Amino acid sequence: MSTDRAEAGRHDFALRPSRPPAPVDHANEDLPIPLETRVEMYRLQQELRQFEKRAYDLFMQNLVKGTSHLSLGQEAVAAGVAAAIRPDDYTFATYRGHAHTLARGVGMGPVMAELLGREDGLLGGKGGSMHLTSVEHGMMGSYAIVGAHLCIANGAAWSAQIRGTDQVAVAFFGDGTTNIGAFHEALNFAVVWKLPVIFVCENNLYMEYTPSDFVTAVPHPAADRAPAYGLEAVLVDGNDADAVYEAARKAVELARSGGGPSLIEAMTYRHGGHSRADPGKYRPDGEVDAWLERDPIPMYHQRLLRLGVAEGQLTEIQQEVAQRVDDATEYAKASAPPGDAALMTDVWADGGSAWRN
């Protein structure tokens, strides 16, 4: 951290140097990605965007209780990785996990109902926004203690190694997470055991409210640490689904062929605040606008048009997704709160919670 940065704006967020996005790399258009994969990534980004906008509205209406951490603006990371893995692969997310859950094909209805604390929620109302999980989709959980799930993803990768499958495990996490011990333990462990695991850092520049570069020894919190573990430093544009897809595809290929782990740092930005109704006022003037300009979705829309996809097809996708978000909202609202009996179930494998006879 340079002194001038520390001095600039320590007490005045607006004076902090703004960190604008890199310009779009149009060469990514020429990556050999099948058009149907690209359309799929577009559809996924639409789903994540429209779903989370609705989730935000429902939060503001006090229907989503507790907290929620949205990935608005970060959709290209979830979509790009999801398109590069197989249905039997494992993913592990953080509390900012709505997008990563939906991207595995989990139904919007149960996810929305979980956010509303309803009995038809994905977790029966037991987990809420921060713990979305769908084992049948390989979505092995959303974890809200920073860093822990990187270690757990190692275990899923180890299990694939033992069972002799070529499944991979992916762990998503933020820039701030690179400063907790579990991150470093997980990386070293994965490398020495040569595990088929992919660590994907979504660098959205901020922890909760503090820019991570204020408290991080290196400019690129993940990529700059990679060489310390003998890994290649991989830095990609996290607002370009094609760039993310390509990096993920290479990492998956390496992991499946026994080549061990990868660490990807994807540069992105959250359009909103950290959580709940945080307005994100700690961000310097102009920074948010610059990143809104680099919104991953309109950019990708234009790219698909240039690649020959008809406007009508994209409109149809948008409308179809909008309908599904409406349906999910209705489904969630119509679902009852969990019954009292649910309180005492599922502590143990026998379904109960007894600790004595």
Partner 1 sequence: MAELNYREAVAHGIAQEMRRDPLLVMLGEDIADAGGVFKTTVGLLDEFGPERVRDTPISEQAIIGAAAGAAMTGIPTIAEIMFSDFIAVCFDMIVNEVAKARYMTGGQISVPMVIRTANGGGSRFGAQHSQSVENWCMMIPGLKVVAPSTPVDVIGLLAASIRDPDPVVFFEHKSLFATKGEVPDGEIVDTLGTAAVVRQGTDCTIVALALMVPRALEAADRLAEEGISAEVIDVRTLVPLDTETLLGSVVKTGRLYTVEENPRLCGWGAEITSIVAEEVFWDLDGPIVRITTPHIPLPSAEALEDLAIPSADRVHDTVVKTMG
Please give the residue ranges that form the binding site for ligand TPP (CB under 6 A): 96, 144-146, 173-177, 202, 204, 206-208, 212, 274
SS3 256: helix
The letter for the amino acid at 181 is: G
Sole binder of Mg ion in the list 89, 175, 240, 246 (CB under 5 A): 175
Sole binder of Mg ion in the list 204, 239, 262, 335 (CB under 5 A): 204
Question: How many Cβ atoms sit within 10 Å of the Cβ of residue 184?
Answer: 16
* Spatial contact of 225 and 178, defined as CB atoms under 8 Å apart: yes
Nearer to Mg ion, 193 or 214 (CB): 214
Nearer to ligand TPP, 97 or 196 (CB): 97
Instruction: Quote the tokens at residue 144.
Output: 């809200």
- Of the candidate spans 24-32, 137-145, 176-184, 297-305, the one that interacts with Mg ion by CB under 5 A turns out to be 176-184
d(C-alpha 354, C-alpha 357), whole Å = 8
Nearer to partner 1, 123 or 263 (CB): 123
Select from 164, 247, 231 the least CA-distant residue to 192: 231
Select from 350, 299, 344 the least CA-distant residue to 23: 299
Binding mask 205-244 for Mg ion (x = CB under 5 A): -x--------------------------------------
| Strand 139-143 relative to strand 169-174, pairing | unpaired
Instruction: Quote the tokens at residue 89.
Output: 């692969």
Contact between 122 and partner 1 by CB under 8 A: the answer reads: yes
- Of the candidate spans 13-21, 76-84, 129-137, 308-316, the one that interacts with partner 1 by CB under 8 A turns out to be 129-137
The partner in contact with residue 208, picked from ligand TPP, partner 1, Mg ion, none with C-beta cut-offs of 5 to 8 angstroms by kind, is ligand TPP
The partner in contact with residue 96, picked from Mg ion, ligand TPP, partner 1, none with C-beta cut-offs of 5 to 8 angstroms by kind, is ligand TPP
Nearer to partner 1, 177 or 204 (CB): 177
How near is the Cβ of 149 to Mg ion at its closest, in Å?
A: 15
* Spatial contact of 232 and 262, defined as CB atoms under 8 Å apart: yes
How near is the Cβ of 135 to partner 1 at its closest, in Å?
A: 5
Nearer to ligand TPP, 120 or 295 (CB): 295
* Spatial contact of 236 and 223, defined as CB atoms under 8 Å apart: no
Contact between 140 and partner 1 by CB under 8 A: the answer reads: yes
How near is the Cβ of 336 to Mg ion at its closest, in Å?
A: 36
Contact between 186 and partner 1 by CB under 8 A: the answer reads: yes
d(C-alpha 216, C-alpha 185), whole Å = 17
The letter for the amino acid at 26 is: H
Contact between 275 and Mg ion by CB under 5 A: the answer reads: no
Contact between 27 and partner 1 by CB under 8 A: the answer reads: no
Burial class (CB in 10 A: 0-12, 13-18, 19+), 109: buried
* Spatial contact of 108 and 142, defined as CB atoms under 8 Å apart: no
Q: Write the DSSP assignment of 23-39 as a string of letters.
A: PP-GGGGGS---HHHHH
Contact between 189 and partner 1 by CB under 8 A: the answer reads: yes
Contact between 318 and partner 1 by CB under 8 A: the answer reads: no
Nearer to partner 1, 27 or 162 (CB): 162
How near is the Cβ of 113 to partner 1 at its closest, in Å?
A: 11
Nearer to ligand TPP, 144 or 235 (CB): 144
Select from 124, 133, 122, 45 the least CA-distant residue to 92: 133
The letter for the amino acid at 171 is: A
Q: Which residues bind Mg ion (CB under 5 A)?
A: 174-176, 204, 206
